[in-house]
Every structure is written in C-alpha cells, then in structure tokens.
C-alpha cells in the first residue's frame, strides 16, 4: 500500500534491523523499544489491523505468532509478551498489522 511504512520495510525500500523472515512474515527491531527485546512481526501482505488479517488470511495471522516464538527462542527468551494494538484508540500508529514481541524484563499487569 502506497505510503505505508511497514510495506516499505517489507519491500526493502525502508531500512530496518530485520531479525527473522519467512515467506509470509518479516520481523524487525522496533525503533522505540519498550523492552530489551522489542521486535515487530508483520505480514508481508498489507492488512490494516489484526482483525482484518485474521479475516483475510488466517494462516498468515497464525504465522505471526509462530514467527514471534521463533524470534523469542533465538534471543534466549522463554518468557515474553505478544501485543496487537488495533485502532488508534488502542495505540496503533502504523495501520499495517503488526505484532509486538516484548521480552527481557518483567512485565506488569495490567499493561498500560
């Protein structure tokens, strides 16, 4: 999608620190990390939200989670948090589905 930051990363037009890639997903370090390990996992195809991805490509939706698990394991983490923000009111700022993988520190509840 034209003008989408994450589509630019997927296409290789925007520089990023890619840590893992599959045929359907790409994982890269967040530029504003909220934990020692903060990686974003995105589908290569553009979907505006997690709900849109789940409806449009359930297999890719599931692969985001398996990719995140592979990244966590590769970085030496057994404990980690996965977060989808869906909609501006929930904190989504880039409207290309992305899964946050957070690890390397204690997580509090509720998140805020």
Question: 3-state secondary structure string, the chain?
Answer: CCCCHHHHHHHCCCCCCEEEECCCEEEEECCCCCCCEEEEEEECCCCCCHHHHHHHCHHHHHHHHHHHHHHHHHCCCCCCEEEECCCHHHCCCCCCCCEEEEECCCCCCCCC
98 is catalytic: yes
Catalytic residue chosen out of the listed positions 38, 46, 98, 100: 98
As annotated, the active-site residues are 98
């Amino acid at each position: 999608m034209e003008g989408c930051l994450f589509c630019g990363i997927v296409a290789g037009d925007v520089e990023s620190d890619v840590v893992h890639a599959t045929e359907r997903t790409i994982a890269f370090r967040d530029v504003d990390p909220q934990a020692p390990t903060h990686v974003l996992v995105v589908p290569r195809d553009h979907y505006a939200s997690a709900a849109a991805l789940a409806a449009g490509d359930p297999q890719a939706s599931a692969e985001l989670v398996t990719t995140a698990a592979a990244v966590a394991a590769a970085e030496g983490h057994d404990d980690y948090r996965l977060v989808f923000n869906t909609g501006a009111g929930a904190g989504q700022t880039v409207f290309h589905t992305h899964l946050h993988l957070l690890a390397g520190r204690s997580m509090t509840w509720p998140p805020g």
